[in-house]
């Protein structure tokens, strides 16, 4: 078992990477002088992974939507007790989440990290599914789905994604539908668990007041070696174009809310990271409160301080999303189209670009002094097949010319979608 030291030449920060004999990738960042520890144990398995096969399989297996999220819920119940009871004894805060492309189990603590790490590694490797506990969970998650269906922020996002994507499962709610989760049984959960919770498809990231050798000793004790079975995931073919340009839904909201998104070309690895940074700077300049467009729309009462942007991407999908509240979302959309066109034709003022770049770089460096941010950075790098400190280099090397290049290639007006939730009874 070889320890590699990964170091940022620019900031001086470093972490340890180990490819464990069990197959697990482990990232450890010792942060001396910090009082807390955060650990994440994650798998490359999210809501979009509904079609897969192993090396020896002849056919792809297709599973119901929402099963990754369902599995996450069930892993917290083992045969003996609830995992949260175990964390309560060590004083740790435990949690988990399922997103589009990953599932992560985590804890944070200020002491006893060794015992909490043992709990984390132990329960994630001990699935316990029965007909009774699966049936019970179907009712619980069914209620959760109904709640998100009544959540305007959730609806405005997924309505937008359904307008963007013809076939890619990113358009499906992470929890699935009441109909899809009704198809889930214990056998299916075990099949998905044994496929995606293979340690060769997983990562442990831990940062804070820890000792690397202690962490690795615990890993040696608790990790069960796994054969790499050659997992392959696949997605339906996705056209470049969008499904439709706009969608409106009525929900009880005080002010209409909107998501305005560009469907961009999907990519992987370092290219995805570079595009994320470039388009993050571009969209950030548009939503910057000091920008001409922002100030004009604010004075006209078209937007308020909720106006913001984000880059949203993963395996097979990539988009830039603008969101906020407005009585005139069409005017916001037209203004964004106009500003993107202007930037593509005229370029970006170098002083504005440098300011946005420095803000982004400063946020990253500040995150290096936050235990949770460091653990998150390490696990995100693994999930995107990059190195933890690549983000520092990509931001440092970014140029205004590269930002303009991505604006021209990816922010196309014919791939723009607007989703609005406005006040009224549900249709």
Q: Residue 422 in contact with residue 168, Cβ under 8 Å?
A: no
For the chain, how big is the Rg over CA atoms in Å?
23
Average pLDDT across the chain, whole number = 94
State residue 427's pLDDT score.
42
Residues 292, 148 share a domain: no
Given 199, 233, 267, which residue is the final one in a domain?
A: 233
* Rounded Cα gap, residues 264 and 161, in angstroms: 12
Is residue 128, in this structure, part of any structural domain at all?
Answer: yes
Question: Other CB atoms closer than 10 Å to residue 73's CB: what's the count?
Answer: 16
Q: For strands 416-423 and 246-251, give the pairing.
A: parallel
Domain span holding position 124: 3-233
Beta-bridge partner residues of 259: 323, 419
Residues 178, 113 share a domain: yes
Residues 299, 199 share a domain: no
Burial zone of 317 (CB within 10 Å; 0-12 exposed, 13-18 middle, 19+ buried): buried
pLDDT tens per residue across span 173-211? 999 999 999 999 999 999 999 999 999 999 999 999 999
Tell me the backbone φ, ψ of residue 243, rounded to 5 degrees.
Answer: -80, -50
Residues 227, 260 share a domain: no
Given 198, 233, 268, which residue is the final one in a domain?
A: 233
The arithmetic mean of pLDDT across residues 208-231, rounded, is: 94
pLDDT tens per residue across span 102-117? 999 999 999 999 999 9
State residue 426's pLDDT score.
47
Is residue 241, in this structure, part of any structural domain at all?
Answer: no
Specify the DSSP class assigned to residue 77: B
Is residue 238, in this structure, part of any structural domain at all?
Answer: no
Instruction: Provide the number of structural domains found in the chain.
Output: 2
Residues 225, 321 share a domain: no
Q: Which CATH number does the domain housing residue 228 bear? A: 3.30.830.10
Tokens linked to 44: 């490359």
- Residue positions annotated with a catalytic role: 72
Is residue 250, in this structure, part of any structural domain at all?
Answer: yes
pLDDT tens per residue across span 131-154? 988 998 898 999 988 888 889 999
Q: Please compute, for residue 50, the number of CA atoms within 13 A of its CA located in the half-sphere on the CB side.
A: 25
Q: Residue 320 in contact with residue 411, Cβ under 8 Å?
A: yes
Is residue 45, in this structure, part of any structural domain at all?
Answer: yes
Nearest Cα to 395, choosing from 368, 340, 356? 356
Calculate the CA 54 to chain-centre distance.
25
Question: Other CB atoms closer than 10 Å to residue 47's CB: what's the count?
Answer: 24
State residue 150's pLDDT score.
87
**Total count of residues recorded for the chain:** 427
Q: Residue 416 in contact with residue 339, Cβ under 8 Å?
A: no
């Amino acid at each position: 078992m070889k320890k590699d030291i990964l170091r940022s030449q620019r900031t001086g920060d470093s972490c340890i990477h180990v490819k464990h004999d069990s197959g697990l990738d482990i990232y450890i960042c010792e942060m001396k002088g910090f009082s807390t520890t955060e650990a994440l144990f994650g798998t490359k398995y999210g809501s979009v992974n509904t079609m897969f096969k192993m090396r020896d399989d002849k056919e792809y297996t297709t599973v119901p939507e929402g099963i990754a999220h369902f599995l996450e819920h069930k892993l917290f119940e083992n045969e003996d007790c609830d995992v949260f009871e175990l964390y309560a004894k060590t004083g740790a805060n435990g949690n988990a989440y399922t997103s589009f492309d990953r599932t992560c189990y985590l804890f944070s603590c200020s002491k006893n990290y060794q015992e909490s790490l043992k709990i984390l590694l132990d329960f994630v490797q001990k699935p316990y599914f029965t007909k009774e506990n699966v049936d019970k969970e179907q009712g619980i998650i069914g209620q959760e789905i109904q709640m998100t269906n009544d959540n305007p922020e959730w609806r405005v996002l997924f309505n937008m994604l359904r307008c963007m994507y013809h076939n890619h499962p990113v358009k499906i709610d992470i929890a699935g539908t009441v109909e899809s989760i009704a198809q889930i049984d214990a056998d299916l959960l075990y099949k998905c668990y044994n496929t995606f919770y293979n340690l060769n498809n997983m990562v442990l990231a831990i940062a804070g007041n820890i000792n690397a050798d202690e962490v690795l000793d615990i890993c040696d004790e608790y990790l069960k070696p796994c054969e790499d079975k050659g997992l392959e995931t696949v997605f339906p073919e996705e056209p470049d174009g969008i499904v439709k340009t706009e969608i409106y839904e009525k929900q009880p909201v005080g002010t209409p809310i909107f998501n305005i998104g560009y469907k961009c070309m999907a990519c992987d690895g370092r290219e995805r990271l570079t595009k994320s940074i470039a388009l993050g700077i571009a969209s950030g300049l548009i939503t910057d409160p000091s920008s001409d467009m922002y100030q004009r729309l604010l004075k006209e009462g078209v937007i308020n301080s909720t106006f913001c942007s984000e880059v949203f991407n993963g395996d097979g999908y990539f988009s830039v999303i603008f969101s906020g509240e407005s009585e005139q979302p069409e005017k916001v959309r037209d203004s964004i189209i106009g500003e993107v066109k202007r930037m593509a034709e005229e370029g970006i003022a170098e002083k504005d670009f440098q300011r946005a770049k420095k803000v982004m770089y400063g946020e990253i460096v500040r995150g290096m002094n936050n235990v949770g941010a460091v653990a998150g950075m390490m696990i995100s790098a693994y999930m995107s097949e990059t190195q933890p400190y690549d983000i520092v280099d990509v931001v440092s090397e970014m140029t205004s010319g590269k930002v303009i290049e991505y604006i021209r290639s990816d922010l196309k007006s014919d791939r723009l979608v607007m989703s609005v939730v406005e006040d009224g009874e549900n249709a």
